[in-house]
Structure 1
Amino acid sequence: MASKIITEAELDEIYAFAVQLGKDAGNLLMEAARSRFSSNSHNASHDDEPATQEFTEKDSAVDIVTQTDEDVEAFIKTAINTRYPSHHFIGEETYAKSSQPTRPYLVTPTTPTWVVDPLDGTVNYTHLFPMFCVSIAFLIDGAPVIGVICAPMLGQLFTACKGRGAWLNETQRLPMVRQPMPKNAPGGCVFSCEWGKDRKDKPEGNLYRKVESFVNMAAEVGGRGGKGGMVHGVRSLGR
Structure 2
Amino acid sequence: MAHPRSALLNVMTAAAQKAARRMVRDFGEVENLQVSKKGPADFVSVADKKAEETLVKELQKARPDYGFILEENDSIEGKDTSNTWVIDPLDGTTNFLHGIPHFSISIGLVRDSEPYAGVIYNPVTDEMFWAEKGQGAFLNGRRLRVSARSHVSECLFATGLPFKGVDKDRERFLQRIGAVTSVSAGVRRFGSAALDLAYVAAARFDGFWESGLHAWDMAAGIVMVREAGGFVTDLDGKRKMLENGSIVAATDKMHPTLLKLLK
One-letter identity of the residue aligned with 1:211 = L
Question: TM-score with structure 1 length normalisation?
Answer: 0.67
Asked whether 1:123 is paired with 2:114, we answer no
Q: Deviations over 1:4-54 (max 9, x none)?
A: xxxxxxx932221111111112222112112334x55xx8359xxxx9422
Partner of 2:144: 174
Identity %: 27
Partner of 2:176: 213
**Structure 1, unaligned runs of 5 or more:** 1-10, 57-64, 96-102, 220-229
Name segments (4+ residues, structure 1) moved above 3 Å: 43-46, 107-110, 177-182
Higher helix fraction (1 or 2): 2
Asked whether 1:140 is paired with 2:111, we answer yes
Structural mapping, 1:35-74, within 5 Å:
35-37=29-31, 44=35, 52-55=39-42, 66-74=45-53
Structural mapping, 1:10-89, within 5 Å:
12-37=6-31, 44=35, 52-55=39-42, 66-89=45-68
Partner of 2:184: 231
Q: 1:191 aligns with which of 142, 157, 177?
A: 157
- The Cα of 1:132 is off from its aligned counterpart by 0.2
For the aligned residues, what is the CA RMSD?
3.1
Quick one: distance in 1 between partners of 2:121 and 2:147? Answer: 23
**Structure 2, unaligned runs of 5 or more:** 193-263
Aligned residues: 188
Quick one: distance in 1 between partners of 2:41 and 2:164? Answer: 22
Q: Deviations over 1:103-152 (max 9, x none)?
A: 779x9994211110000011111011111000001122222222111101
Quick one: distance in 2 between partners of 1:109 and 1:181? Answer: 43
One-letter identity of the residue aligned with 2:169 = N
SS in 2 for 1:94: coil
Contact 1:112 1:141 in 2 (8 A): yes
Quick one: distance in 1 between partners of 2:139 and 2:70? Answer: 24
Q: Which has the bigger relative contact order, CA under 8 A and spacing at least 6?
A: 2
Question: TM-score with structure 2 length normalisation?
Answer: 0.62
Q: Choose 1 or 2 for highest CA Rg.
A: 1
Cα distance change on mapping 1:89 and 1:192 into 2, 3 Å: same
Quick one: distance in 1 between partners of 2:36 and 2:41? Answer: 16
- The Cα of 1:81 is off from its aligned counterpart by 2.1
Cα distance change on mapping 1:52 and 1:87 into 2, 3 Å: same
SS in 1 for 2:105: strand
One-letter identity of the residue aligned with 2:70 = G
